[in-house]
Amino acid sequence: MTSKKSIKNKVVGKLKQVEGKITKDKVREAEGKAQETHGKAQAKADKKKEELAE
């Protein structure tokens, strides 16, 4: 099961990316990409933990 934290990071990261594109703020866009990637990595780690627990 994907954790709430990983879902939050993916969603907030995507929102930051969109905000950065709209405001033409490359730093904000990059922060969003990094946060979204972090959320994806968390989701994969959660999935592996579940597989190992079984």
Span 3-53, pLDDT tens digits: 899 999 999 999 999 999 999 999 999 999 999 999 999 999 999 999 998
Predicted local confidence at residue 54, as pLDDT: 82
Predicted local confidence at residue 2, as pLDDT: 78
Q: Is a pLDDT exceeding 80 seen at residue 1?
A: no
Report the C-alpha gap between 52 and 26 in whole angstroms: 39
The sign one gets for the Cα dihedral 15, 11, 5, 34 is negative
Please choose, from the candidates 41, 40, 35, 38, the residue with its C-alpha nearest in 3D space to the C-alpha of residue 15: 35
Q: What distance, in Å, lies between the first and last C-alpha atoms of the chain? A: 13
Give pLDDT tens digits for 6-20: 999 999 999 999 999
Contacts of 46 (CB under 8 A, 6+ apart): 1, 2, 3, 6
